[in-house]
Structure 1
């Protein structure tokens, strides 16, 4: 979690098409998004990750196991919930 900055809530962004999507409430800046993206791409080579800080949604293409992806996000320091 990025504790070095204070962030105001940003407006919600339009949805993105992906295999999996996770709401990450504490993903508030580009640094947070980068930590999550890096963790996912290192663990699941070949996946495509789009981390939208405005909506606080992480979109993952190329992975099917939501539990495993959510676990990597948690290991990176961020709680997440699957978006249906």
Structure 2
């Protein structure tokens, strides 16, 4: 599991956009978005750099760490 810190995520629409980006990169991923903490916990078998790129392509700078 990975935790992504996501910048510029300010509303429910943003959270939905991030979740869609994660699912586009890995349809089998399990994602829990925390708008208040501006983070997402993602269970994925895809390289986390791929998930990060998808989030950033959606317009949200991000970083990740394994948890």
Taking structure 1 as the reference length, the TM-score comes to 0.71
Consecutive unaligned residues in structure 2, runs of 5 or more: none
User: How far apart are 1:48 and its partner, in Å?
Assistant: 0.7
Q: Which residue of 1 aligns with 2:48?
A: 66
Whole-angstrom CA distance in 2 between matches of 1:75 and 1:25: 13
Q: Which residue of 2 aligns with 1:25?
A: 7
Structure number with greater CO (CA < 8 Å, separation at least 6) is 2
Consecutive unaligned residues in structure 1, runs of 5 or more: 1-18
Greater C-alpha Rg: 1
Greater percentage in strand = 2
Q: Does 1:38 align with 2:20?
A: yes
User: In the superposition, relative to structure 1, how do residues 63 and 27 fare at CA in structure 2: closer, same or farther (>3 Å)?
Assistant: farther
Q: Provide the aligned C-alpha RMSD in A.
A: 1.3
User: How far apart are 1:83 and its partner, in Å?
Assistant: 3.5
**4+ residue runs of structure 1 moved beyond 6 angstroms?**
none
Greater percentage in helix = 2
Aligned residues: 66
Q: Which residue of 1 aligns with 2:57?
A: 75
